[in-house]
Amino acid sequence: MSTAEILTLKGVSKAFGVVQALDGVSLDLRAGECLALVGENGAGKSTLTRIIEGVFAPDAGQLLLDGKPVQFSGPRESHRAGIRVIHQEPEIIADVSVAENVFPGALPARLGGLVDRARLHARTAELLRLFGMEREMTPTQICAGLGPAQRQMIEIMRAVHAGGRVIAFDEPTSSLTGEETERLFAVIRRLRADGVAVVYISHRLAEVVALCDRVAVLRDGKMIDVVPIDETSEEDITRKMVGRTLTEMFPGRAPPGDATVLSVRAMTTEHVSDISLQLRAGEVLGIGGLVGAGRSELARGIFGVGARLAGSVELEGKPLPSGSPGDAILAGIGLAPEDRKHEALLLMRSILDNAVLCIPDRVSRGGLFDRRRAEGIVAPIAERMRVKAPSLHTQVSNLSGGNQQKVVLTRWLARAPKVLILDEPTRGIDVGAKSEIYRLIADLARNGLGIIVISSEMGELLGLSDRILVMSEGRITAELEGAAMTEDAILRAAMPSGHAPVFDALQGETP
Amino acid sequence: MTSDVTRPSAKATMGPLASLAERVGIHNLSLILALVVLLIVFGSLRGDVFFSSRNVLNIGMGVAILGVLAISQTAVIVSGGLDISVGAIVGLTTVTTAMAIEATGLAAAGPAAGLIVGALAGLFNGLIITYGRVNAIIVTLGTMAIFRGIAFIISDGQSISIFNDTFRLLGIGRFLGIPAPIWVLVGVALVFYVFLHLSVVGRNVYAIGGNPVVARLSGLNIRGYRLSMYVLSGCVAGIGGVLLAARTGSGQPISGSEGLELEAITAAFLGGCAMQGGKGTVIGALLGVAIIGVLNNGMILTGVPTFYQMLAKGSLLILAVLLAEYRLNRT
């Protein structure tokens, strides 16, 4: 195994506004090596990837390619230098063939500018054979019907034929089955053997330990440690990732009450199956699981987005009709969706307009909007939520992620709901605002609200919840309470059934 | 002439029908089926004239100009755009064609003036859309009025007659018994078929329309490609204008205003285009044109009042887009 450094980062820093996303990070990517990049959400992994890919320029520090300083003005330049990122959502051209997808912008030509299809298909077939994918796809197949694993493979082949020397995989197994994961590992090992510097970004430490040669741990924008995989363990990596003690971030909590506010019985929708859960007043119920496990779909099912195929949802003993978010709101349920910008907020409108969206009856007089009355309702709540803005008339798009989330919370509190469902409430929010959101959640629970928090962040889930449900493949696979709430237990229950044996085997290997 | 992209399938176990569907494409097959149904309906209602060679050529003449416009519209839509100013460009170029012949007395000056002015109009569209980053529908809606206005201004609102018999052969001449405009359509179709389906540049158009992110990262000049498609579209609309001027023997600022762009866009969507771009074929567009031509002709022969014909054409466009959306959601 060669250890020639292809790409080196030296003291790279990057800030977005007041958030220091990367702080003096140094790292080297070596030919024929698989380097794991791990860290909690918001630790700076994506920023680091984007700097390597040339999407962002670093504020300070240097990138060295083969020892020479380089600056990429964009992904096109980094691609030319042989640096590729295989994204979580592979970009493909839906209505053209596999072969044309592998060679976009680089179709082999014959005399007269016509596509040399024989050569195009032969080269694609060769690549497919090289990675053992010849049974999965044919060069002439249209890409529209391909699954995530095959789409990912197309991006990999794109990178390889273009002479990719550094290939970074961003959470590559998040939508793969166990078998597909195994095959991807074979492909990555093949790339490594061919001298590619592989960067493997993943939350799944078992995979990291099984596949990678070194592991780099990021936390709050700083490179905490880079160690050979033989000299560390999953527990050690986790400790380095989480770092701070969780109690600093999460306020103390009062024990939940005894009254059940929300009760879901055997709910089945198009996306989730046989969901049963009880939520008590003053309780924070965490829902964990991998992306795509059906957590947001569960929230939507309760809220009544789309029809329920079976089962019932009752709020304080009264059944909620299926397929009617309006009735859910009237009954006292609020939902803050994961995608704030697209699903929760009218970005071009003011804080006030956004906050009164669910209380049209209370802010109109004779059918006309009564601004003064609206301000009277919203102002005290916004103050309690500590929304930081010049005025209630500030356009929401000008607010930070944390303040935008507080506007969403303000909207729901104006309705005084009994149950609030928060889907990834701190996604894209900096650490300071995060702890404020945590405090608000604890506050609301203390006042008797039942709260469901969906989160991909282990620390958040463990720190906030009284109880945790774990989902996998559209079903609830575990209910954890008290001392049983551990990262390990969540991960174990979150793995799709196909993964479980692999995971167990890997656990055995770890020292 | 089918695109050689196919889905993998157990070829050995396929029946003859499935194998036909695979070769022609299920979408084109359904268009052919729709066409056959129309032919049967109108044939049984007016069998006396409908299948006469004269009427068949009539249909061909009727759709020759629409055909070239539908094909270039397909190229624009594949690239991720839309051009609704083509009808106005046809009107404008009939005028410039007539004026050029009147001024020089040369037959060749007509096509030259038509093509150049058409290309310039397309360039104008393309520059605003690509460099101004304005929505293509809005831009070409605006230029539709602008081009029409220019046509009226330079012609003073009058029809300009063309007294050049050589030039008029393009509209009313015949070769091997087939009218010249149909030959022009065949020529344009062949050129676009080779361009869109076989050439590297054409395949790149599918890439930029299908996924601009991939195309940009693959080093394709998206702006250049998009701009070229509008120039091409304007140029082909110029061809349409030249054909129309040659057929009518005049340049009329009002010509091409009776929903020509609507029919061209309808044909393109019937032919399998998707609003998002990256999809569409020349064969599909031609089949779409054939359906519209047969429908137009059949409705006239069976005496459907003009107002109801408009109703039918508008409904057809919406139906075509509904079908396109349905196909998109299914995959």
ipTM of the complex: 0.78
What lies within 8 Å, CB to CB, of B187 at 6+ separation is none
Checking if the pLDDT of A508 tops 70, the result is no
A275-280 and A83-86: which strand pairing?
A: unpaired
Query: What residue has token string 């798009």?
Result: A397
Q: Which two tokens stand for residue A132?
A: 């053992």
Amino acid B54 reads R
Rounded Cα gap, residues A412 and A334, in angstroms: 6
Rounded Cα gap, residues A442 and A254, in angstroms: 8
* DSSP 8-state assignment for residue A305: S
Nearest to B200 among A95, A109, A140 (CB): A109
For residue A189, the Cα-to-chain-centroid distance in whole angstroms is 26
User: What Å distances lie between residue A186 and A211, A351, B259, CA to CA?
Assistant: 10, 51, 58
Q: What is the full DSSP assignment across A152-198?
A: HHHHHHHHHHTT-SEEEEESTTTT--HHHHHHHHHHHHHHHHTT-EE
Q: Which two tokens stand for residue B243?
A: 């054909």
Sign of the dihedral through C-alpha A114, A118, A119, A123: positive
Q: Where are the domains of chain A?
A: 5-92+146-243, 258-332+417-511, 344-414
A450-454 and A419-423: which strand pairing?
A: parallel
Q: What is the pLDDT at residue B179?
A: 92
B160-161 and B250-251: which strand pairing?
A: antiparallel
Q: What is the mean pLDDT of residues A234-246?
A: 74
Nearest to B4 among A75, A117, A145 (CB): A117
Residues of B in CB contact (< 8 Å) with A are: 4-8, 194, 198-201, 203-204, 206-207, 210-211, 213-220, 274, 278-279, 331
Rounded Cα gap, residues A438 and A429, in angstroms: 12
Map residue B95 onto helix, strand or coil: helix
Give one word for B47, left, alpha or beta, with left for phi > 0 and alpha for psi -120 to 50. alpha
Residues of chain A in contact with residue B331, where contact means CB-CB under 8 angstroms, are 94, 144-145
Q: What is the pLDDT at residue A431?
A: 64
Q: What is the pLDDT at residue B331?
A: 52
Rounded Cα gap, residues B248 and B161, in angstroms: 9
Residues A141/A59, Cβ–Cβ less than 8 Å: no
What lies within 8 Å, CB to CB, of A173 at 6+ separation is A180, A181, A184, A202, A204, A207
For residue A225, the Cα-to-chain-centroid distance in whole angstroms is 23
User: What Å distances lie between residue A67 and A10, A79, B132, CA to CA?
Assistant: 11, 18, 41
> How distant is the Cα of B79 from the closest Cα of chain A, in angstroms?
12
Residues B207/B218, Cβ–Cβ less than 8 Å: yes
Which region among A162-171, A280-289, B21-30 has the lowest average model confidence (pLDDT)?
A: B21-30
CB contact under 8 A, B274 and A95: yes
Nearest to B41 by CA among B307, B314, B301: B301
Nearest to B54 by CA among B306, B263, B302, B301: B301
Q: What is the pLDDT at residue B205?
A: 94
Rounded Cα gap, residues A141 and B68, in angstroms: 30
Domain A5-92+146-243 in CATH 3.40.50.300? The answer is: yes
Q: What is the pLDDT at residue A503?
A: 43
The proportion of chain A whose per-residue pLDDT surpasses 70, expressed as a percent, equals 94
Residues of chain A in contact with residue B200, where contact means CB-CB under 8 angstroms, are 107, 109, 113-115
> How distant is the Cα of A348 from the closest Cα of chain B, in angstroms?
20
Q: Do domains A5-92+146-243 and A258-332+417-511 have the same CATH topology?
A: yes
Which chain A residue has its CA at the smallest distance from B279's CA? A95
Rounded Cα gap, residues B169 and A258, in angstroms: 92
Mean pLDDT of chain A: 87
Sign of the dihedral through C-alpha B200, B205, B206, B212: positive
User: What Å distances lie between residue A9 and A15, A54, A229, A360, CA to CA?
Assistant: 16, 13, 20, 53
What's the CA dihedral at A127, A130, A134, A136 to 10 degrees? -90
Checking if the pLDDT of A248 tops 70, the result is no
Could you give phi then psi for residue B209, rounded to 5 degrees? -75, -35
Rounded Cα gap, residues B244 and B228, in angstroms: 24
Checking if the pLDDT of A287 tops 50, the result is yes
Nearest to B214 among A80, A91, A113 (CB): A91
Q: What is the pLDDT at residue B4?
A: 43
Rounded Cα gap, residues B148 and B150, in angstroms: 5
Q: What is the mean pLDDT of residues A165-182?
A: 87
Domain A258-332+417-511 in CATH 3.40.640.10? The answer is: no
pLDDT tens-digit series, residues A188-215: 999 999 999 999 998 788 889 999 999 9
Map residue A119 onto helix, strand or coil: helix
A260-268 and A310-315: which strand pairing?
A: antiparallel
Residues of chain B in contact with residue A97, where contact means CB-CB under 8 angstroms, are 5
pLDDT one digit per residue (tens) for chain B, 331 residues: 344 444 444 444 556 666 666 667 778 888 888 899 989 988 888 888 888 888 888 899 889 999 999 999 999 999 999 999 999 999 999 999 999 999 998 989 999 999 999 999 999 999 999 999 899 999 999 999 999 999 999 999 899 999 888 999 999 888 998 899 999 999 999 999 999 999 999 999 999 999 988 888 888 899 999 999 999 999 999 999 999 999 999 999 998 877 899 999 999 999 989 888 999 999 999 999 999 999 999 999 888 888 888 898 889 888 888 887 777 666 5
Residues of chain B in contact with residue A79, where contact means CB-CB under 8 angstroms, are 217, 219
A19-30 and A5-16: which strand pairing?
A: antiparallel
Task: Determine which helix (DSSP H) or strand (DSSP E) holds B315, and give its type and residue range.
Answer: helix B306-330
Rounded Cα gap, residues A404 and A398, in angstroms: 9
Nearest to A94 among B194, B220, B278 (CB): B278
CB contact under 8 A, A93 and B214: yes
Checking if the pLDDT of A20 tops 90, the result is no
> How distant is the Cα of A169 from the closest Cα of chain B, in angstroms?
17
Q: What is the mean pLDDT of residues A291-304?
A: 90
Q: How many CA atoms lie within 13 A of A79 on its CB side?
A: 21
Checking if the pLDDT of A257 tops 80, the result is yes
Q: What is the full DSSP assignment across B270-285?
A: HTT--TTSS---HHHH
Checking if the pLDDT of A71 tops 80, the result is yes
Residues of chain B in contact with residue A76, where contact means CB-CB under 8 angstroms, are 216-217, 219
User: What Å distances lie between residue B322 and A13, B239, B319, CA to CA?
Assistant: 50, 30, 5
A260-268 and A275-280: which strand pairing?
A: antiparallel
Q: What is the pLDDT at residue B328?
A: 65
Considering only residues B176 and A367, tell me which one the structure prediction assigns the higher pLDDT. Answer: B176
CB contact under 8 A, B214 and A104: yes
Rounded Cα gap, residues B256 and B237, in angstroms: 10
Q: What is the mean pLDDT of residues A136-148?
A: 88
Map residue B7 onto helix, strand or coil: coil
Nearest to B204 among A92, A105, A140 (CB): A105
Checking if the pLDDT of A36 tops 70, the result is yes
Q: Which two tokens stand for residue A30?
A: 């070596």
Nearest to A292 by CA among A173, A458, A468: A173
Residues of chain A in contact with residue B216, where contact means CB-CB under 8 angstroms, are 76
Q: What is the pLDDT at residue B17?
A: 66
> How distant is the Cα of B282 from the closest Cα of chain A, in angstroms?
15
Residues B129/B81, Cβ–Cβ less than 8 Å: yes
Nearest to A150 by CA among A187, A106, A112, A194: A187
CB contact under 8 A, A105 and B8: no
User: What Å distances lie between residue A487 and A289, A291, B234, B302, CA to CA?
Assistant: 11, 16, 62, 75
> How distant is the Cα of A178 from the closest Cα of chain B, in angstroms?
25
Which region among A235-249, A479-493, B275-289 has the lowest average model confidence (pLDDT)?
A: A235-249
CB contact under 8 A, A105 and B220: yes
Q: Which two tokens stand for residue B192?
A: 């676009």
pLDDT tens-digit series, residues B229-285: 999 999 999 999 999 999 999 999 998 877 899 999 999 999 989 888 999 999 999
CB contact under 8 A, A94 and B210: yes
Rounded Cα gap, residues B302 and B119, in angstroms: 39
What lies within 8 Å, CB to CB, of A282 at 6+ separation is A254, A255, A256, A257, A445, A446, A447, A448, A449, A450
Which chain A residue has its CA at the smallest distance from B78's CA? A95
Rounded Cα gap, residues A425 and A108, in angstroms: 48
Chosen for mutation from B198, B218, B329 (greatest number of chain A CBs closer than 10 Å) is B218
Residues of chain A in contact with residue B4, where contact means CB-CB under 8 angstroms, are 117, 140
